[in-house]
Structure 1
């Protein structure tokens, strides 16, 4: 088992916080169909908060930039981050509802999600102090559940200070060229890569994305992940770590990204970092929920 570093990786996450409202069903309903579920949970989530918690549990010193609402979910979301060791000094409180994600998970662990932005929609740019926190990090983790002007402003701030930007393009959609220009590492899953490029072969899609960013890691679910760079477009494949039983894949990608950022910050080569992140992701899919499923460092190292 590896020993934790004497100085943790310092990461900043600018992203969403949502309360996940999760219904568990034997089979997801078709359009117009009503089905009976067998359980329901409310679990703190949001792609930004998920990545922050995953990274903190994996051993990083993490600061979260985002917003929660003044409803009953706001304090719970803030508390969940703090309980995992995430610094919430730059997590704003916005009048009104917090973000929510309405999730259906079937008995195979597959999910479908509807996100309501709530307070996340108020994060339209950086506020005083945000750039300082970004400048002090090894890397800035970004997703697309906040307004694009804020994501782009944060990425530009990172570039000004020589901080690595790691962008998860989810939910997938058209991204402004000015954001891609200041992205160092893009981490789509195979479906997001296809949506961004129109190419359904994930390796061809990854290579096409190199026209816009210098490095790409495409996650391939049970098939593992692949890494390409402009300097070496031939893919590096890393297999998935076996996971049984799979009960909920909701936060598998966010767990992978959070752990990957920690490993890279500790100086692991990309192949080793991807393998370590795959172990973290394998542990997460064997547990219910988003933030509640994420493993601690000792579990990742042991696996």
Structure 2
């Protein structure tokens, strides 16, 4: 028997089904796992035991928090797993974070998983570890902007930025000025009218960042979009970052997951409450 998946449900439907299932679970042996989206479901379906019911949140990470906190605050059978993004602390003792910034970055930090997509898609001359480091550092400006936007409540639009358009194919570099110009166009000249915010960003860019620091602030979708740009063929044919993401997810094995901090936290939860989630 495989684990069960519930997707595209309303908040009321999710809460109702979990309550009904808990009521029928006399032995208290099932875990009810809330995740952010369909990609999370695809990953967890292959990792969790048959004693896990997986629910897609009705509203991303905020929906996970709302359901766990408001309806199942003291029930250890109901847990959430979400991207850490830029949270600096635990928001609930039964909502767990992927290692690093998000699920994709947890996959990317696995040497074997990243080597798999590198071998499959990249035919350039940059060695695999050097390419990973290069992409992380190229994205440093965008990663810091995303973090500052969330932690400092800047309220600017970022998702319209095209990494492909900001990439200089001759120098193989992401052009900072192009990103800032586009952000200003999208946000009423934010960095022109807010010199203190621009200075805050410039100060961060001047500081050296370790690989671990960059893994914790880099969005996986940004990384895969830039990686796909590096993988673009001479004829200009692009490789979809969505396809690369699917390949990365397939390349990340259970043995890779068993090295993660998230795995150990889930095993600890299993042992404490006599559940069977991943072990």
Alignment TM class, shorter chain as reference = under 0.3
Larger Rg: 2
More helix by share: 2
Give me the TM-score of the superposition, normalised by structure 2: 0.25
Question: Relative contact order (alpha carbons < 8 A, sep ≥ 6): 1 or 2 greater?
Answer: 2
TM-score, normalisation: structure 1:
0.24
